[in-house]
Amino acid sequence: MGKTRQVGKYQLGRTVGEGTFAKVKFARNSENGESAAIKILAKSTILRHKMVDQIKREISIMKIVRHPNIVALHEVLASKTKIYIVLEFVAGGALFDKIVHQGRLSEEECRTFFQQLIDAIAHCHSKGVYHRDLKPENLLLDSHERLKVSDFGLSALHQQSDGLLHTTCGTPNYIAPEVLAKQGYIGAAADVWSCGIILFVLMSGYLPFDETDLPTLYKKINDAEFSCPFWFSPGATSLIQKILDPNPKTRIRIDEIRRHPWFQNNYVPVQQLHEIEEVNLDDVQAVFDDIEEEYVAERSESREGGPLLMNAFEMITLSQGLNLSPLFDRQQDYVKRQTRFVSRKPARTIISSIEAIAESMGLKVNTCNFKTRIEGLSLNKASKFAVVLEVYEVAPSLFMIDVRKAVGETLEYHKFYKNLCSKLESIIWKPVEGVNPGFMRTMSC
């Protein structure tokens, strides 16, 4: 029997994301059948790592910044041991994955995504919220390719008494020079800089500042040492140069970006949903308090002696709709922070092969119940890197190995995944071409 779990009115499916402090699972609202994503945090972990204020801030911010281009927070539930943040399920994957798949995007497509991004960030700033970790990995796409800003874990809700923010956070390649200087910075200007880096990456397919050692990277950022490729239109180049101004006082502001001729081209301001004037945050504290056990009913039925069975609901959510081809066709899979392959080898053989290859790569390996976590250092040795591989039985003698990033940068994850697959060719199933072409087309690595 497969593994089932219920949290309130939500039926939980498979894990779709896993970090140091939280897991994210697909879920289905049993009352209306709608999909959701539930971020699960253990209270003990939050308390042990003194993250209570950060989690409260993230929940509060997501309640405040409701907008069509921001991932919506539906509700927050709690048991005696866990907190469940119920979020809008965004089916199209991360914008970063689209760039990895396609390379640079057309200028018109870039402009549309950028317009949506600026609309979302302008709304955040109007609420006194500064994201501080804007990058393509935190920009999701729904089934209609509409951009959704996510991950407010590093956001600031308000500024210090001196009007400046003082915490250095974010991803180095996207951080504004004044943030790196550690002398206090204006949150709005720092977010604008990150938006400019994102626009450059969308249009070029690569980062404007990208060095293997951090001191060199920081110097280039501080000096704004970059150049726009020849295929950028004059209007795009003009706007990017105004955004990537190392001086935050003269850097273009969001209202000026919106008036820029390049931005104005085919710009349709987002139709904001009816906005609640006052947002009640009293329940944010409540999720950390002990509540009746029956408020969140949890049950878990585990299958012993083998990997988990993947039920129909989990397969549908995995394939982002009723079209199952993305399960086995890598060419259609944009959700590349989660990658997967299929094998007909016994489950234990799959796990032992993965363990042996990871250890031969000098990585730390930990396996429990057909789930393996692999850890090591990033290529520049500056940060930790971890992936999780889990074996699912999708049919008799047919197993799907789901691989997902746990810690580290997505670009490094893609490089690791490609390297891993090249070493696992002996266990990856590649059916004879022409056999059941409309159903089980295995993923090529």
**Which letter does DSSP use for residue 6 in this model?**
E
Measured in whole angstroms, the distance separating CA 245 from the mean position of its chain's CA atoms is 28
Q: Which long-range contacts (CB under 8 A, 24 or more apart) does 248-254 make?
A: 248/176, 248/178, 248/185, 248/186, 248/189, 248/190, 248/193, 251/189, 251/192, 251/193, 252/192, 253/188, 253/189, 253/192, 254/118, 254/121, 254/122, 254/125, 254/188, 254/192
Bridging pattern class, strands 5-7 and 10-18: antiparallel
Find all residues with CB under 8 Å of 368, minimum gap 6, and list them. none
Give the Cα separation of 23 and 87 in Å (integer): 13
Q: 139 near 173, Cβ under 8 Å?
A: no
**Which letter does DSSP use for residue 335 in this model?**
-
Strands in 30-107 per DSSP E: 35-42, 73-78, 82-88
Find all residues with CB under 8 Å of 47, minimum gap 6, and list them. none
Angle separating helix axes 107-126 and 234-243, nearest 10 degrees:
30
Rounded-to-10 torsion of CA 336, 413, 310, 332: 20
Identify any residues that bridge with 140 across adjacent strands, giving them in sequence order: 94, 148
Nearest-5° Cα angle at 243, 239 to 248: 150
Q: 328 near 322, Cβ under 8 Å?
A: no
As annotated, the active-site residues are 133
Q: 262 near 235, Cβ under 8 Å?
A: yes
